[in-house]
Chain A
Amino acid sequence: QKEVEQNSGPLSVPEGAIASLNCTYSDRGSQSFFWYRQYSGKSPELIMFIYSNGDKEDGRFTAQLNKASQYVSLLIRDSQPSDSATYLCAVAKNSGGYQKVTFGTGTKLQVIP
């Protein structure tokens, strides 16, 4: 079982719709959760981070964390063609004195105009 799992996609949504991206993780000791956006050929950029169960909203983005079920999701409202990218889920925990970060392989999102 992979430590962090994401559906590779592509996930296709029409412009203006809600895109829902999901991520599951295996280590119950995980403490911090991040979503990065990566355009083709570019470096990942942080969109959101969440530490506590529940929802966290920032503009059109909402991160949802459910530690009991070990999943974290990202909702993108009013999707735009510029949102077309690969979205990486990252999970972090303290491990032996350092902070181990594990990335999922990413979900490719396509927003159709």
Chain B
Amino acid sequence: EAQVTQNPRYLITVTGKKLTVTCSQNMNHEYMSWYRQDPGLGLRQIYYSMNVEVTDKGDVPEGYKVSRKEKRNFPLILESPSPNQTSLYFCASSFTFVRGGDGYTFGSGTRLTVV
């Protein structure tokens, strides 16, 4: 089954304790992205990657890191989480968005609470 697998689904952590949210896709997509979703603010892009070893900042990158060492995996790293990073996080992948492309496939989401 074609899918984006994101883990964990729920995570409660304490301020300053490093954590990693994993994301893996089995569709051979080149484009992967991380979003956070907050009430009233919608989906905001954190980081994206156009291919292996190619990553760049989105609209809200502060406090986050990513890596793309393999095409299928795109982990999100919070080196020192703070309460304002409490949010619902989505990983998404796509072949392309240009004409003929079919947009994102989203992972099931990670609800992160930082206390």
Q: Could you tell me which A residues sit within 8 Å of B by CB distance?
A: 8, 31-32, 34, 36, 41-46, 49, 51, 88, 90, 92, 94, 97-99, 101, 103-106
Contact = CB atoms under 8 A, between A and B. Distances in A.
Interface of A is mostly: strand
Contacts of B109: 41-43
B56 A98 contact: yes
**Interface size class, chain B:** 20 to 34
B103 A46 contact: yes
Nearest to B109: A43
25 contacts: A8-B40, A31-B97, A31-B98, A31-B99, A32-B98, A32-B103, A34-B103, A41-B109, A42-B108, A42-B109, A43-B107, A43-B108, A44-B43, A44-B90, A46-B103, A46-B104, A51-B99, A98-B48, A98-B50, A99-B96, A99-B97, A101-B33, A101-B45, A101-B97, A104-B42
A40 B76 CA distance: 23
B106 interface: yes
Contacts of A42: 108-109
Contacts of B50: 97-98
Nearest to B4: A43
A97 B56 CA distance: 12
A8 B41 CA distance: 11
A26 B88 CA distance: 27
B31 interface: yes
Contacts of A98: 48, 50, 56
A32 B97 contact: yes
B102 interface: yes
A4 B54 CA distance: 27
B103 A103 contact: no
A105 B107 contact: no
A90 B107 contact: no
